[in-house]
Amino acid sequence: MFLSLDETVRLRDRWRDEGRRVCFTNGCFDLLHPGHLRLLEAARAEGDALIVAINSDASVRALKGPTRPVIPEAERAEVLSGLDAVDAVLVYDEPTPLRVIEAVLPDVLVKGADWALDRIVGREEVEAAGGRVVRVPLVEGRSTTGILERIRKP
């Protein structure tokens, strides 16, 4: 359900040849919730096609701990691929998406507003290539961590 990096770059090239503006966002997207959906819809609204890069299971475990992800990468990719806002999904294994962003060089890099502009991975590379970075406001009280805390409460 997800593309390799090479396939993603070829798809990006085709979209650009068609005159489409390519957007990009990334994250774990474990236990998809309304905050994720609104981020994806806002990201897609910034352009004509949206590429979503998700952390691999190993990458999520390294970032979030041994009990995560709740949903395996193939299933997360399948769910994301089924959303109208999402045009392509790829999985990356590194702690950050820098290698992916350097290869894709989207026209628009989108992250949640919880990320300070100077801490957004790939910002410098995207801006140097003539792209821009957009920060999307978060949906208050919506997070995978919050959902898991509610589930674990007796």
* Sign of the Cα pseudo-torsion (64, 150, 77, 15, in order): negative
User: Please, which residues bridge with residue 26 across strands?
Assistant: 53
pTM: 0.91
Neighbours of 4 (CB within 10 A): 10
Could you read off the pLDDT of 72-105 as tens digits, one per residue?
999 999 999 999 999 999 999 999 999 999 999 9
Q: What is the DSSP letter of 43?
A: H
Task: Measure the CA dihedral 127/88/35/112, to 10°.
Answer: -10
pLDDT the model gives residue 144: 59
Distance CA 14, CA 127 (A): 21
pLDDT the model gives residue 153: 76
Domains, the chain, with CATH or none? 5-152 (3.40.50.620)
Q: Which amino acid is at 93?
A: D
